[in-house]
Amino acid sequence: MTVTGILLAAGRAERFGSAKLEVPLPDGPDAGTALGVVACRRLASVLDEVIAVVRAGDDALRLGFEREGARVVVSPRADEGIGASLATGVAAAQASTGYIVALADMPWIEAATIKRVAQAVRNGASIVAPVFRGMRGHPVGFSHAHRDALLGLTGDEGARSVIASHGHQLALLDVDDPGVLQDVDTPRDIAR
């Protein structure tokens, strides 16, 4: 069973003010590595296939993701929002039986958490998400049963509508990983 990581990296980073996914982490084991590349590295360390979705012209990001073993696809509809980019990634994962949807601005998710989400999908979970201290986070896993719904996404809502429509199928995994809630929206977020 092939569960594919879909790394969403086609946003504009308007709140950040610059190409945030290329900003190096200041400390820790990944210090000096671009935060988007770290997020890709985590996915690639536990999944057989990772598809990174970027916007046209993000050549530095493309190269960083390819060095981590990801297949990079350009979202032709990136300006429509994260839903359109997610649909692009799922379309590129033609032989997959499940998807782990991850955000490239969340570099602190532990590989063990990604592995647990993927294993839950392999074991038959329809939709699965990690929970840290009662709060649902990322990445979110989807079985192939949701492929058509994911392919139909548009706008800036991501997969929320798919989860809302199938909430009774959502399995929650308690994890001891605060990274599932930590994203980077502003330069201040990197320093925490």
User: Domain of 57: which CATH number?
Assistant: 3.90.550.10
pLDDT score at 126: 97
**CA 156 → CA 49, 77, 151, 159, distances in Å?**
25, 11, 14, 9
Distance of CA 110 to the CA centre of its chain: 13
Q: What is the pLDDT of residues 170-182, one digit of tens each?
A: 999 999 999 999 9
pLDDT under 50 in the chain at which residues? none
Output b/e per residue, 123-161; b: 16+ Cβ within 10 A: eebbbbbbebeeeebbbbbbbbebbebbeebeeeebbee
- Mark out the alpha helices in 7-125 (DSSP H runs): 35-46, 59-67, 82-92, 111-122
Cα–Cα–Cα angle for 33, 96, 146, nearest 5°?
A: 105
Q: What is the pLDDT of residues 80-90, one digit of tens each?
A: 999 999 999 99
Distance of CA 63 to the CA centre of its chain: 18
Check: CB of residue 81 under 8 Å from CB of residue 161: no
Q: Which domain holds residue 139?
A: 3-191
Number of domains in the chain: 1
pLDDT score at 192: 62
pLDDT score at 188: 86
Number of Cβ atoms within 10 Å of the Cβ of 80: 16
pLDDT score at 178: 97
